[in-house]
Amino acid sequence: MSNIIHHPSLIEELAGEIKMKCSYHGKLADNEIIKKGKSKSGIQRYRCKICMQQLHKKNYEKNKATLKIKQAKYRAENKEKVAANKKKSRIKTFAKHKEKRNLYSQEYCKKQIEELGDNYIKRIFTKRTLLKTKDIPASLVEMKREVIRLKRLIKLKEIGEDIEKNNQS
């Protein structure tokens, strides 16, 4: 450090320690600082935290652009490989969420059947046909729901009568 010239306004003594100041902001340059060339008169310049942040940001933006170009070039040159990797990762994700999905769909189906949900009833009509659930009118769904409710009631009643008969004999 002996041969480095410091401008008096860019030096500050703190607890007996000489600290450099940023040539741009006048702020104290701490451990993370870098030397930033020398002025014409040979005075060593430093950069502060603000400068470093700006520098990092600038570098990141610059690299982001080059990185994007690089990635695009790689994708264009390795279309099959990229597609294969994409498929692989899709399969992986699909498998990862399978259990959760199954559980959810089982619960959903159970609830639909119990509560005679629209989807459950619409599927009764669309099953083994080319119809889509959206093709089934709401009035038909309502009617079918009532029919199923009635059938379920009758079944319950029959079960009740069977139990009674068994109890009597």
Q: Which residues bind Zn ion (CB under 5 A)?
A: 22, 24-25, 48, 50-51
Q: Could you give the residue ranges of the DSSP H alpha helices within the chain?
A: 49-77, 79-96, 98-115, 118-126, 138-168
Q: Which 3 state secondary structure label does DSSP give 32?
A: coil
Residue (21 or 122) nearer to Zn ion, CB: 21
**With respect to Zn ion, which residue has the nearer C-beta, 12 or 118?**
12
Which is closer to Zn ion, CB of 36 or CB of 123?
A: 36
Least distance in Å: CB of 45 to Zn ion?
10
Least Å distance between CB 6 and Zn ion? Answer: 16
Phi-psi domain of 57 (left: phi exceeds 0; alpha: psi -120 through 50; beta: other): alpha
Instruction: Work out whether the CA dihedral 48, 26, 35, 66 comes out positive or negative.
Output: positive
Please report how close the Cβ of residue 50 comes to Zn ion at its closest, in angstroms: 5
Amino acid at site 8: P
CB of 41 to Zn ion, least distance (A): 20
- C-beta of 24 vs 125, nearer to Zn ion: 24
Neighbours of 10 (CB within 10 A): 18
